[in-house]
């Protein structure tokens, strides 16, 4: 490795010893220093640094490198050392290929060296001592006794583990050397500096860590890997941290193979066996795969370990660096690699390796046509699903398809593969399960569920035409306006749920939903929902009815309980690795957080849910994605982020007609609210009236389910149609009173108070505040306080107005609604009041848990991409958390985070 002396990293100790060696030689106190380390550790770089310093200090430098092809040439190294300065040495009549050099020969060389030392200090620098010819090695072995009183420094490097022409002489030489240096692996700072030199950019910490994982602190490997990354124009940022692990460094492969061949004729076979076995490699298994005798394998692994190419312990054998493993495997011809993998599979199975380890090897092997293969892959796939790793299960099952098997087993295999694909890829699952649904009765419901999520309602219902699927058919028919009436009729005809029957929980959750839609008996809806949750199993198949029952609890005002259940469901979905279930659970948790006024958390969940579902192959324009989008738009409207909401609608191509489904109706309501809030009340009113036209198909009369009347009243008021606005608001209040939940009633009263105006409106707003104070709906309370305080101010009742508006500001900030807080502050100022201190002056107590964690990580200097990876959220969610944290803390940006998180109040640079 050619490295300029000024560019050495992490070799301070070695350089200090070199300088001490050269200083001693200049004062007639020479010594022999040996650099003893494995391949690629920078021995040559240290030697070149010594040569550079010696020449700069006026030394005569004799330097050469051992050469494996010249190992049989007597005095080959001596000739190359002295030829540049004492040419006559190369012309001496050396005796020939005798085993031992003659005394005359040794004396002639020593005289030449002494003569040079009489003129100036001398450095003898020999690289790769293990490749020297026997005579040159013997001459070097006599130097330690001759240089201690001379102006001669000797620096030798050796890579242990490689065969030597005369091991006994080499051992003697090492034994009498004054100093032996063993360079350590590069530290993190040294690796970072080396990467920075190569890529001409300061690397991110995660990027350095990724390089170290691959190269293991080996200077040569770090340098070569960085060079390849430079050629690929990779920037060393956190976003590129995954690149080193996927980068091939083929330019080192030939050197590695040559070194392996020099060590032993079996070394390459052993290295390949270790590489193929991976984490399962141990001495018995390596022996079984490479086919050599156990003593030979032991001898070779010992040599490779000494050479720094293997790491050997009592229990395992591994190549020293991951990129070394990649280099070894890449150079194996494809046919030979397949043979090796087949041997590895059989060896692992014979030695009782865990089924998952055997399966991992099977994934890369050609078909074996052995009955045990499919069974082992099926079992391993089931275990992978059980531990929440569906991607691995899919790989196992896909590999199993290549084996010959009976038709019945192939049908089972296709079914399991389709089910596993349903965890991550809806489109693939639908295609796979469609091919086996006619042969597998148990597949029908799963396929129908996937079709429904993808918005293919008719196809979903058609899958469930059998009598024993009537309940599931009714469940899916409720998704579409066209079939909602038939679904209600079918549900009515079904017998009452029977305790202990498989579909009891699903049936109860549907009844709870229908009761909530009617909006006339909240206690019954809650009772049905709880009964359903008590009997529903906790698995992906039951996620839809479970979430439906939890939503009923939230609509009935049991929001804290609903949120706790959503938290639990999110945790379960994460453990399952079932991404559609995780998306659904997070979407509903966002709905509940919205009702609780936890707006940043609601936005995070709503965004992540939509991203997750789209990532599973769900179409944006129909199905569950439309409902998830509607929920996100609702949150963004209350956060006054109208541009983002409009952009999402445009991206999903849902600015015009929307599906006549339950999800489409939810989106129509959200879009109507958005348009009214964004200053387009006429367009918003059309959407809201459209919601009112559709809802009778589902017999929905509950504002806790769809508050379209209150929103319509707001739009009508904006258009100056006061009478109609009052009529809609009054009807909304009446419906909310029937339902008897504080949150929906308080919100409906607020709208009625605003559209009514005057003294009566003020009284109604006061009622709204009073009702909401008994609920968990903090955002609704903040909005009602703001409207109430504004109305009081208009009525010249400044003292109670200020009290209400101050409460509105505090609650709006707690909820994370900056626009509502700003508007309330303006009204508070107009009423002669002083706004409460911002949260930044009081510390971090008002930050949500997600905002606080994001802020703390950002204060450590992490990038937004790192934050997204750590927190498992989207970049936009990170940006929202940070923006909210800056606002709440009263700071301008992330450079002030560390100070305020440590308790320092920031200096104000202007009003906020």
Average pLDDT over residues 305-319: 89
- Rounded Cα distance between 219 and 212, Å, is 10
Evaluate if residue 576 carries a pLDDT over 90.
Answer: yes
Going 262 to 264 to 265 to 266, the CA torsion angle's sign is negative
pLDDT band at 2 (very low <50, low <70, confident <90, very high): very low
Average pLDDT over residues 298-311: 91
Evaluate if residue 815 carries a pLDDT over 60.
Answer: yes
Which tops the pLDDT comparison, 441 or 744? 744
pLDDT tens, position by position, 694-748: 999 999 999 999 999 999 999 999 999 999 999 999 999 999 999 999 999 999 9
Evaluate if residue 639 carries a pLDDT over 50.
Answer: yes
Evaluate if residue 838 carries a pLDDT over 90.
Answer: no
Tokens of 696: 């009778």
pLDDT of residue 820: 93
Tokens of 315: 């229990």
Q: At what angle do helices 662-677 and 708-718 cross, to 10 degrees?
A: 30
pLDDT of residue 677: 95
Evaluate if residue 418 carries a pLDDT over 60.
Answer: yes
Helix (H) or strand (E) holding 718: helix 708-718
pLDDT band at 911 (very low <50, low <70, confident <90, very high): very low
Q: What percent of the chain has pLDDT over 90?
A: 65
Which tops the pLDDT comparison, 79 or 628? 628
Which tops the pLDDT comparison, 314 or 506? 506
Average pLDDT over residues 624-640: 96
Specify whether the backbone of 796 is left (phi greater than 0), alpha (psi in -120 to 50) or beta: left
For the chain, percent helix, then strand, then coil, each to nearest 5? 70, 5, 30
The mean predicted confidence, pLDDT, of the chain is 89
pLDDT of residue 856: 75
N residues, the chain: 912
Which tops the pLDDT comparison, 563 or 880? 563
- Rounded Cα distance between 381 and 709, Å, is 51
pLDDT tens, position by position, 326-360: 888 888 899 999 999 999 999 999 999 998 899 99
Nearest to 747 by CA among 713, 699, 698, 720: 713
pLDDT band at 880 (very low <50, low <70, confident <90, very high): confident
pLDDT tens, position by position, 75-123: 888 888 998 888 776 565 555 445 566 777 788 888 889 999 999 999 9
Going 718 to 721 to 726 to 729, the CA torsion angle's sign is negative
Least confident of 29-38, 307-316, 845-854: 845-854
If you search the block for the tokens 């450079």, which residue do you land on? 895
Strands 152-158, 32-36: pairing kind: parallel
If you search the block for the tokens 């022409």, which residue do you land on? 165
SS3 state at 96:
coil
Least confident of 85-89, 140-144, 582-586: 85-89
The set of residues, in sequence order, having a beta carbon less than 8 Å from that of 99 and lying 6+ positions away, is 134
pLDDT of residue 6: 45
- 69 DSSP assignment: G
- The β-bridge partners of 180 are 34
Least confident of 115-119, 185-189, 571-575, 855-859: 855-859
Evaluate if residue 836 carries a pLDDT over 80.
Answer: no
pLDDT band at 905 (very low <50, low <70, confident <90, very high): very low
- Rounded Cα distance between 902 and 906, Å, is 11
Evaluate if residue 845 carries a pLDDT over 70.
Answer: no
pLDDT band at 71 (very low <50, low <70, confident <90, very high): confident
Q: Is 0.85 surpassed by the pTM of this model?
A: no
Tokens of 846: 């008002």
Tell me how many helices (H) and strands (E) the chain has.
Answer: 47, 7
Three-state secondary structure of 749-783? HHHHHHHHCHHHHHHHHHHHHHHHCCCCCHHHHHH
Average pLDDT over residues 553-567: 96
User: 142 to each of 23, 176, 722, how far by Cα in Å?
Assistant: 22, 10, 110
Least confident of 324-338, 600-614, 667-681, 702-716: 324-338
Give the start-end residues of each E strand in 267-323. Answer: 310-312, 317-319
Evaluate if residue 909 carries a pLDDT over 60.
Answer: no
- Rounded Cα distance between 610 and 381, Å, is 28
Tokens of 392: 């691995």
Least confident of 83-92, 360-369, 624-633, 740-749: 83-92
Evaluate if residue 509 carries a pLDDT over 90.
Answer: yes
Evaluate if residue 466 carries a pLDDT over 70.
Answer: no
pLDDT of residue 841: 40
pLDDT of residue 828: 87
If you search the block for the tokens 């990027």, which residue do you land on? 207
Average pLDDT over residues 65-82: 87
pLDDT band at 255 (very low <50, low <70, confident <90, very high): confident
Q: What percent of the chain has pLDDT over 70?
A: 93
Evaluate if residue 881 carries a pLDDT over 90.
Answer: no
């Amino acid at each position: 490795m050619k490295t300029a002396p000024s560019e050495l990293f992490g070799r301070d100790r070695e350089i200090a010893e070199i300088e001490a060696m050269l200083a001693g030689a200049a004062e007639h106190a020479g010594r022999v220093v040996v650099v003893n380390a494995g391949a690629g550790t920078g021995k040559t770089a240290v030697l070149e640094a010594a040569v550079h310093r010696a020449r700069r200090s006026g030394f005569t430098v004799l330097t050469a490198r051992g050469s494996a092809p010249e190992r049989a040439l007597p005095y080959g190294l001596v000739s190359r050392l002295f030829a540049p300065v004492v040419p006559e040495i190369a012309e001496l009549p050396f005796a020939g290929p005798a085993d031992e050099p003659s005394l005359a020969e040794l004396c002639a060389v020593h005289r030449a060296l002494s003569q040079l030392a009489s003129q100036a200090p001398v450095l003898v620098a020999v690289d790769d001592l293990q490749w020297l010819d026997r005579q040159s090695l013997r001459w070097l072995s006599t130097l330690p006794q001759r240089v201690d009183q001379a102006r001669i420094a000797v620096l030798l490097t050796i890579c242990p583990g490689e065969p030597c022409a005369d091991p006994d002489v080499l051992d003697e030489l090492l034994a009498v050397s004054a100093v032996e240096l063993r360079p350590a692996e590069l530290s993190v700072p040294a690796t970072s500096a080396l990467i920075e030199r190569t890529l001409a950019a300061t690397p991110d910490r995660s990027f350095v860590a990724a390089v170290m994982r691959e190269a293991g602190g080996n200077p040569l490997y770090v340098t070569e890997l960085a060079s390849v990354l430079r050629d690929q124009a990779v920037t060393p940022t956190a976003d590129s941290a995954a690149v080193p692990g996927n980068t091939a460094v083929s330019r080192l492969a030939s050197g590695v193979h040559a070194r392996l061949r020099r060590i032993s004729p079996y070394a390459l076979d052993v290295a390949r066996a270790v590489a193929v076995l991976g984490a399962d490699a141990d001495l018995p298994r390596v022996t079984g795969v490479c086919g050599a005798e156990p003593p030979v394998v032991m001898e070779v692994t010992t040599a490779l370990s000494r050479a720094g190419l293997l790491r050997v312990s009592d229990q395992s054998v591994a190549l020293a660096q991951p990129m070394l493993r990649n280099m070894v495997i890449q150079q194996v011809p494809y046919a030979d690699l397949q043979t090796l993998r087949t041997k590895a599979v059989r060896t692992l199975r014979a030695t009782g390796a865990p089924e998952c380890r055997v399966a991992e090897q099977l994934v890369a092997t050609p078909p074996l046509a052995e009955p045990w293969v499919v069974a082992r892959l099926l079992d391993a796939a089931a275990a992978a699903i059980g531990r929440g790793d569906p991607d691995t299960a899919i790989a196992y099952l896909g590999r199993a398809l290549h084996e010959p098997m009976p038709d019945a087993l192939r049908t089972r295999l296709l079914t399991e593969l389709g089910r596993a694909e349903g965890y991550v890829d809806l489109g693939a699952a639908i295609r796979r399960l469609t091919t086996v649904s006619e042969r597998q009765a148990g597949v029908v419901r799963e396929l129908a569920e996937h079709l429904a999520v993808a918005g293919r309602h008719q196809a979903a219902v058609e899958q469930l035409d059998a009598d024993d699927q009537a309940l599931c058919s009714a469940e899916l028919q409720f998704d579409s306006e066209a079939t909602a009436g038939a679904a209600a009729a079918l549900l009515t005809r079904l017998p009452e749920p029977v305790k202990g029957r498989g579909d009891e929980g699903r049936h109860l959750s549907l009844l709870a939903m229908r009761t909530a839609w009617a909006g006339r008996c909240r206690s019954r809806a809650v009772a049905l929902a709880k009964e359903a949750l008590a009997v529903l199993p906790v698995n992906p198949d039951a996620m839809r009815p479970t979430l439906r029952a939890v939503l009923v609890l939230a609509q009935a005002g049991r929001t804290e309980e609903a949120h706790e259940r959503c938290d639990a469901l999110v945790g379960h979905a994460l453990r399952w690795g079932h991404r559609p279930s995780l998306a659904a659970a997070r979407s509903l948790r966002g709905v509940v957080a919205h009702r609780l006024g936890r707006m940043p958390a609601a936005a995070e969940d709503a965004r992540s849910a939509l991203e997750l579902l789209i990532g599973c192959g769900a179409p944006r324009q129909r199905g569950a994605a439309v409902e998830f989008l509607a929920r996100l738009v609702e949150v963004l409207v209350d956060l006054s982020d109208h541009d983002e909401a409009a952009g999402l609608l445009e991206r999903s191509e849902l600015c015009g007609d929307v599906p006549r489904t339950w999800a489409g109706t939810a989106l129509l309501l959200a879009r109507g609210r958005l348009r009214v809030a964004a200053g387009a009340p006429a367009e918003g009113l059309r959407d809201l009236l459209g919601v009112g036209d559709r809802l009778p198909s589902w017999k929905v009369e509950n504002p806790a389910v769809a508050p379209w009347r209150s929103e319509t009243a707001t739009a009508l008021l904006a258009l100056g149609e006061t009478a109609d606005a009052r009529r809609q608001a009054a009807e909304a209040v009446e419906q909310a009173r029937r339902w008897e939940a504080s949150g929906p009633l308080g919100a409906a009263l607020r709208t009625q108070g605003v559209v009514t105006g005057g003294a009566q409106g003020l009284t109604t707003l006061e009622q709204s505040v009073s009702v909401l104070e008994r609920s968990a709906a903090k955002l609704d309370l903040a909005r009602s306080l703001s409207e109430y305080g504004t109305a009081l101010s208009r009525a010249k009742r400044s003292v109670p107005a200020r009290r209400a508006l101050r409460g509105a500001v505090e609650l709006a900030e707690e909820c994370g609604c900056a626009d509502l807080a700003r508007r309330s502050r303006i009204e508070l100022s107009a009423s002669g009041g002083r706004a409460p201190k911002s949260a930044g002056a009081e510390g971090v107590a008002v930050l949500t848990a997600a905002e606080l964690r994001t802020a703390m990580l950002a204060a450590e200097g992490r990038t937004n991409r790192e934050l997204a990876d750590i927190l498992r959220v989207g970049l936009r969610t990170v940006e929202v958390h940070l923006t909210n944290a800056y606002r709440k803390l009263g700071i301008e940006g992330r450079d002030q985070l560390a100070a305020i998180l440590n308790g320092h109040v920031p200096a104000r640079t202007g009003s906020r």
